[in-house]
Amino acid sequence: MADQTPPRSAGQPLAGFTVGVTAARRADELGALLERRGATVLHAPALRIVPLADDSELLAATKQLLDHAPDVVVATTAIGFRGWVEAADGWGIGEDLLARLRGVELLARGPKVRGAIRAAGLTEAWSPASESMAEVLDRLLDEGVDGRRIALQLHGEPLPGFIEALRAGGAEVVGVPVYRWMPPEDLTPVDRLIDAVLARGVDALTFTSAPAAASLLTRAAERGQDAELLAALEHDVLPACVGPVTALPLQAHGVTTVQPERFRLGPLVQLLCVELPARSRTLPIAGHQLQIRGHAAVVDGDLRPVPPAGMSLLRALARRPGWVVSRADLLRALPGAGRDEHAVETAMARLRAALGVPKVIQTVVKRGYRLALDPASDAKYAD
C-alpha cells in the first residue's frame, strides 16, 4: 500500500527515477533491489511461461544429450524434471536418460527438485542451501567451465545472465526446454508500460531475457507503435539488459543498450545506479543546485517530487538554462493542455510549490519564464 512505502531520499541513487521491469520470473527480486535504491518500479511481464504443447524440441534436446554426454546437468524445477523424465518414458528412452544422468554431475537448485531427482532413483551431486541459481552459477564458475558441456533444464524465461555467464566462461550450454514462452494472457500491463515509455514516463527499461525483449517489440508493432518505441529507447529511455544475448533483439533494431560486466540482477541494478544519475543535469540556479531526475527534482540535496505537468515545464526550461521560454512554447510542452495558456500558469505555480524555492524560476513579463541561472554560469550555457 502507498502509505507503507518508505520515503524516497535524494541520497538513494535511483530516487526520483521510474524503472520498467519486463521480467516474468524473479520480477519481485529485481523490483525489490530497485526499490531499495529509491526507484519507482513499473512491472509488466512481457511473457508467460506454459508447458510445451509440442515436445519435439524437448525430444531433440534429450537425444542430443544421449548421443553426446554432458559433464553437468542442472535441474531447476521439480515439475520440469518430472515432466522431462515422464516425456522420455513416453518416447521409450526413459531408462536411457536415467542411465545418462547417473553418469554426470547432477546439480539440483533446491529441495523440491532434489526430491524429484531422488524419486527417479538418482542422486544429486550438490544442491545450494539458498535455493539460488546465483549460488549454482558461482559454484560452476569457481570449478571452471571452460570446455565443459553443461545441460540446463530451462523453466520458462531464461535465468537472467545464467547461460551468458557460462558461455562467457567457455562452456557449451545445452538448453532442455520443458516450457515455452508465450505472450501474456492479459496484455493490459504491457500496453501500459509501452504507453509509459512513449510518454517518457519511465527513465529506464530492464530486460532479463531475449524473449521478453522480442515480445515487447512485437506487441508495440501490433499496436503500430514499434518505430515510436524504438525512438524512445534510442534517445530518452535507457534500455538496460542483463547481458549481450538478452540485448540481441534490441540491437537488431539499432537500439544501443547498456549491460553490466557480470550478467546478474545485482550488477544490473548497480549499473542503473550509475547510469541514470549520470544522465541527469545539475544546474546552478539562483544560488541553489538543481538536479532534474525522472519524476522529481533534487534541490540542494533534497528530493522534491514534481507532478508530470511540472516536469514537462521544468525540462522545457532546462533545455536552455537562463533563456526565456515563451508561454506558447511551454504550452506545447504540456501534454493534453490544448490552447489554454492558463494551463501553463497553473502548472507553473504547482512546479514552484513542488520545488520549494520559487525564485529558481523567474517570470519575464509579457515574454514567458526562465530558470534563474547563476551569472557565473551564463557563459557555460550560452549555447
Mean pLDDT (the chain, rounded)? 87
Write down the domain spans for the chain: 2-47+184-278, 50-180, 282-377
Higher-scoring residue by pLDDT: 30, 382: 30
**Rounded CA gap, 197 and 217, in Å?**
12
Q: Establish whether domains 2-47+184-278 and 50-180 are of one fold.
A: yes
Q: Confidence band (pLDDT; 50, 70, 90) for 11?
A: low
CATH class of 2-47+184-278: alpha beta
Q: Give the residue ranges of DSSP H helices in the chain.
A: 27-36, 56-67, 78-91, 94-102, 111-119, 133-143, 162-168, 188-198, 210-222, 226-235, 244-251, 265-278, 308-318, 327-333, 342-355
What distances in angstroms separate CA 69 from CA 61, 146, 268, 319, one per listed residue? 11, 16, 34, 60
**Rounded CA gap, 335 and 337, in Å?**
6
The pLDDT value given to residue 381: 52
DSSP structural state of residue 107: E
pLDDT tens, residue by residue, 165-202: 999 999 999 999 887 778 888 999 999 999 999 988 89
The pLDDT value given to residue 350: 92
Q: Confidence band (pLDDT; 50, 70, 90) for 129?
A: confident
pLDDT tens, residue by residue, 202-245: 999 999 888 889 999 999 999 999 999 999 999 999 999 988 87
**Rounded CA gap, 196 and 203, in Å?**
10
- High-pLDDT (> 90) share of the chain, %: 52
Minimum mean pLDDT range among 139-148, 154-163, 248-257 = 154-163
Minimum mean pLDDT range among 5-9, 148-152, 234-238, 372-376 = 5-9
The domain 282-377 having CATH identifier 1.25.40.10: the answer here is no
Q: Which CATH number fits domain 50-180: 3.40.50.11750, 3.40.50.10090, 3.40.50.720, 3.40.50.1820?
A: 3.40.50.10090
The pLDDT value given to residue 7: 44
pLDDT tens, residue by residue, 82-128: 889 988 998 999 999 999 999 999 999 888 899 999 999 999 999 99
